[in-house]
Structure formats: C-alpha cells, structure tokens
C-alpha cells in the first residue's frame, strides 16, 4: 500500500490474487475475496466436492443439475472447445490428471494410457440441457476441467462486484489474468501498466510493460507449469489431438481483450495455432490484441491499437503489426 493506492492480496485459486483500489473500501475488498472463494468452491477440480466434481463423479451414470453460473460457464467452454482448430477443450480432465503437470507425481505417461484417456476427451459428447441446467458426461471416466477458463470468468464477475460498490477505477490480478477497470489516475496518460514476464526467469524479470485502459491482459506460457524428464521439457498446455504437450515456436502469448474470459479462451486457442495461423485468426478478430513471445527471442505484436508496449529486454527483437 502506498499514498496513491491501496493494495490487498490473498492466496486463492492456487495463486496470489491482488486487488488495487484508489480509495480504501474494506467492504468491497471483503466482497471480492468472499466472491472468489465461493466461485472457486463451485468450479474447482482440485477438491473432492464442487459442482464440477459432482458432474465428473456422475460420468457414465446420470446428468447433474448445476447452478446457473456453472451451467453458463460450461456452455461457453463447450462452445470454445468446438471452434475450428481449437486446442481449448473442457473435457481435457482425464489427460490433465494423467500427466499431473504442476502437481506432485508428474511423469511422462505410456502411450497406451494416453490413448485410453484421449478416448474420454471428446467435448462433443458432453450433453447440456438448458431447460433444467443439467450436464451429462456419457462415458465413465470423462472429466470436465475448467482450469483454463475459470480465472477469467471469476475476474469478470469481480469487476461487476466492484461496480456495485461504485468502484470504476481498479486493477485485479489473478496470476496470469490481469483485469483493468477504467483508466488509471496514477499515471499522466491514464494507462494502467502491466508487466510482461520473461519466460523461465525470476518473477521480477520483465520483457516489457503493457499499457492499457479498461482491458483484460491474459498471458499463457509454457514456463508457468512444467517438468523436465530426459532433457525434454513437458509443459501444461496439452494438445487434445495427441494427448501430449503442444510443441511449437512459442514460449508465451498474451491476449488483450475487453473481458478476461475472452482472454482465457483465446490465449489457449492462439497458442495452439502458432504465429502464422494465429495472426491470420487475429486479422478476423480485430477486437483482440496479442503479443507473441517466441523461443528464438522475437516479440510480435498484433492488433496493437488496443494497447501500448514498451520493450525492456534488449535481448529480444520487437516486431509490430503490419
């Protein structure tokens, strides 16, 4: 906390969640963290009991009725999973648990185990009934995992909570998801500053500064959760077509968008497409900005009318939108 702003943080969703306000409002802060706790309890697959785990436990047995909020998120996650060439997949749960990347016991599974789990990850099989808010996984062993989308959804809801407390200038940081609300009175140009992390470096090492107003900034990178076995790096972004971590030229991708849910979805999809196809997709989706960071130290900006970028690490070469 300093003279210009008030910063609050708490360990939630497996990360440090921080909230920066321009005026002290302890009621709003309590409401934010209580809301996050309640939503995490509904959506997590890292606890035995949640609405999502109730669905997973009933796989191959019967549909499960869930709350409006959980049904809405699952419906949006399924739509994202069915987009052309999408590596986003809400049914990826069996593979996530098989690899255990980011958790104790991680190892490279044998090919038979991967084949068996792949057969349980077809998002088209998930049956959604809007009339009674029910979700059905028709095969025993199927599992929904909303880990790639939950933080964004929660960040967007937190923005609504803050607006209820008449807070229209703030910044929410949920780990890889940063959501700025309004403009920043803290800087002369009214931009919020968001650091772009340097892959495989210390937490304070930055490639550059992203400046935005009233935008979401979501970064997905292979350095976030990984392990090394036999000199090969295995990261957490799994290709649902192969069952193995996706291997391309990217170390990270950052999405700048109107809301954090969109950022979550497209950070995964565009990472899967790679630079060439990803930039082609962004030419069709001009409301989304992106920053690609490659393994050979290139930083490529796309649709940069939505943000400003200042390069800090001179070991990287910057390429702007053409």
**Can you list the alpha helix ranges (DSSP code H) found in the chain?**
26-43, 51-57, 68-81, 93-99, 111-118, 150-164, 260-284
Tokens standing for 77?
A: 């996650």
Tokens standing for 26?
A: 């302890």
| Domains of the chain, first to last | 6-30+149-319 (3.10.520.10), 52-136 (1.10.3980.10)
This prediction's pTM: 0.94
Residue by residue, pLDDT tens for the chain (322 residues) are 344 689 999 999 888 999 999 999 999 999 999 999 999 999 987 788 899 999 999 999 999 999 999 999 999 999 999 999 899 999 999 999 999 888 888 889 999 999 999 999 999 999 999 999 999 999 999 999 998 899 999 999 999 999 999 999 999 999 889 999 999 988 889 999 999 999 999 888 999 999 999 999 999 999 888 888 888 888 899 999 999 999 999 999 999 999 999 999 999 999 999 999 999 999 999 999 999 999 999 999 999 999 999 999 999 999 987 5
């Amino acid at each position: 906390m300093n003279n210009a702003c008030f910063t609050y943080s708490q360990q939630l969703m497996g990360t440090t969640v921080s909230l920066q306000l321009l005026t002290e409002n302890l009621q709003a802060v309590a409401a934010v963290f209580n809301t996050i706790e309640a939503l995490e309890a509904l959506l997590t697959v890292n606890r035995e009991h949640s609405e999502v785990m109730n669905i997973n436990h009933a796989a191959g047995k019967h549909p499960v009725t869930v709350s409006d909020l959980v049904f809405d998120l699952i419906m949006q996650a399924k739509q994202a999973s069915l987009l052309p060439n999408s590596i986003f997949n809400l049914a990826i749960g069996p593979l996530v648990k098989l690899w255990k990347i980011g958790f104790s016991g991680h190892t490279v599974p044998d090919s038979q185990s991967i084949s068996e789990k792949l057969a349980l990850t077809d998002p088209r099989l998930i049956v959604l009934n809007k009339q009674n808010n029910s979700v059905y996984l028709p095969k025993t062993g199927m599992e929904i995992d909303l880990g790639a989308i939950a933080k964004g959804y929660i960040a967007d809801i937190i923005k609504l909570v803050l607006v209820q407390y008449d807070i229209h200038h703030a910044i929410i940081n949920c780990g890889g998801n940063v959501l700025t609300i309004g403009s920043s009175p803290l800087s002369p140009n009214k931009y919020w500053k968001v650091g772009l992390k340097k892959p495989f470096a210390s937490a304070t090492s930055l490639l550059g500064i992203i400046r935005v107003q009233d935008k979401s900034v979501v970064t997905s990178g292979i350095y976030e959760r990984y392990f090394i076995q036999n000199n090969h790096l295995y990261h957490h972004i799994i290709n649902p077509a192969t069952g193995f971590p996706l291997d391309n030229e990217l170390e990270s991708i950052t999405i700048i968008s109107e809301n954090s849910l969109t950022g979550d979805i497209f950070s995964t999809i565009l990472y899967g497409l790679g630079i060439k196809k990803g930039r082609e997709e962004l030419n069709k989706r001009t409301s989304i900005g992106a920053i690609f960071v490659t393994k050979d130290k290139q930083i490529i900006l796309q649709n940069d009318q939505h943000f400003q970028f200042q390069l800090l690490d001179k070991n990287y070469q910057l390429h702007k939108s053409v």
